[in-house]
Structure 1
């Protein structure tokens, strides 16, 4: 497995003019939460133009499905337009392209709950805000979600006190 370079992947998505929201562990980290993450999770807009741009970026990142990387199965436009999850391995590390998260929340539903962040070199990305991350984790309440919730809540409280 290649070393993870999430910022290189985000830079490629930015340069490719892909519309997406960073969600998951990296979104929590970018919001200041002291948690670990091992992949980059994004929810892209699933319109035809954006999916075409996303496919070009994924080709440049040599993206293949993680389930059997030796088979070199590559995502297609029809795959990426779906609401499903696409767990990919790229030359920048693991990248999960998620059609929807939570209870059917796609790009359009998530976009109003984002903050735009500069991550370096003039690269600006939309990141799910911490309030929404906490709300989604509370909703889902899986084992991993329950484990990280106290840290996310504490980080959110600290951010709110700092305002």
Structure 2
């Protein structure tokens, strides 16, 4: 039986709430947005790490009642605030992430990828997807394929052939 304080995963609610934040969707949900027939249990984002953007992200996460998912052993709920995000961004190691639980489900925030690249390194090759009033910037397909090839977790190996086929079919970089 699922925990009552763990919301069902509703990525569209999270994305619509993030509408004024500069970020890239990365990870499994990025693969889904490109059309890969895979699943994911969370939304991964790579935000622009400026003070203004981090403060805005903190406000959004406060509205989403975000808490840290990791410290289960202490039994304490650590609420996500702009100050916590500022500290996390300042001390972020490559591949390090802030795993949160929001009212709309799990949201993982990465400030830098495993190879040290951040928002500024990737935004130029990203893809802007729009659907009615929702605008979502997604990591470039070639970058996503490169990440999934390098990391090689089981879920990455499942998504990879689909992403490569999408690239061949569409010519999307």
TM-score by length of 2: 0.83
Q: Is the 8 A contact 1:117 1:125 kept in 2?
A: yes
Match of 1:124 in 2: 135
TM-aligned CA deviation for residue 105 of structure 1: 1.1
Matches within 5 A, 1:21-36: 21-36=24-39
1:85 is aligned to 2:85: no
Q: Is the 8 A contact 1:102 1:139 kept in 2?
A: no
Q: Is the 8 A contact 1:7 1:119 kept in 2?
A: no
1:35-76, Cα deviation, whole Å (9 max, x unpaired): 111100000011111110010000000001112365220231
Match of 2:3 in 1: none
In structure 1, what is the Cα distance between the partners aligned to 2:50 and 2:79?
19
In structure 2, what is the Cα distance between the partners aligned to 1:67 and 1:110?
27
Gaps of 5+ in 2: 1-5
Q: Is the 8 A contact 1:4 1:93 kept in 2?
A: yes
Q: Is the 8 A contact 1:43 1:100 kept in 2?
A: yes
RMSD across aligned positions (CA): 1.8
TM-score by length of 1: 0.88
1:18 is aligned to 2:35: no
TM-aligned CA deviation for residue 152 of structure 1: 1.9
Q: Is the 8 A contact 1:85 1:99 kept in 2?
A: yes
TM-aligned CA deviation for residue 144 of structure 1: 3.5
Q: Is the 8 A contact 2:66 2:103 kept in 1?
A: yes
Write 1 or 2 for the structure with the bigger share of helix: 1
Match of 2:166 in 1: 155
1:73-95, Cα deviation, whole Å (9 max, x unpaired): 02312124442300000001000
Equivalent of residue 4 in structure 1, options 6, 9, 19: 9
Match of 1:61 in 2: 64
User: Once structures 1 and 2 are overlaid, which stretch shifts more, 109-118 or 130-139?
Assistant: 130-139
Secondary structure, aligned partner of 1:87: strand
